[in-house]
Amino acid sequence: MRFGRSVAAVSLALAGLVLAAAFVGLTVQGNAIGREIAGYHNDLAADQAQYEALAAQIANQKTADYVQQKARDYGYIAPNESIIAIQRDGQASDALARTVRESPSRIARWFAYFFGPR
């Protein structure tokens, strides 16, 4: 009889271990799924923030002021307006540089003025 009880006790202990191992496996899988869900929630929140930023940018780009500013950036002007451009980098614009290169130098003009044909 003792042998039967010890076999029953060992089999009961083994069944408990099998059930515990299954429970641990399920818990590990549940935790992994929970981490994936948290990651998806974070991705969703980041995508939502990016969507809101892009929607705000699109709303800004649909305004008349934005379109007018972009048109001015590309050199367009409204009727009855004129553009005065000031170059700040110290280099002459192409048209001005071409004019300066085509005209004689200052010394040549002075020489022509004082010693040129009369």
Amino acid in the structure at residue 93: S
What's the pLDDT at 50?
A: 96
Helices within the chain (DSSP H only): 2-61, 64-73, 94-102, 106-115
What's the pLDDT at 1?
A: 63
Q: Which of 14-23, 76-85, 105-114 has the lowest mean pLDDT?
A: 76-85
60 in Cβ contact with 68 (< 8 Å):
no
What's the pLDDT at 51?
A: 97
| Average pLDDT, integer, range 8-26 | 86
SS3 state of residue 105? coil
Distance CA 25, CA 12 (A): 20
| Average pLDDT, integer, range 35-48 | 95
What's the pLDDT at 55?
A: 96
Q: Is the pLDDT of residue 21 over 90?
A: no
Predicted TM-score (pTM) of the model is 0.45
Average pLDDT, the chain: 82
Digit-coded pLDDT (tens) for 46-103: 999 999 999 999 999 999 899 888 888 887 777 777 767 676 765 655 655 555 566 6
DSSP annotation of 62: T
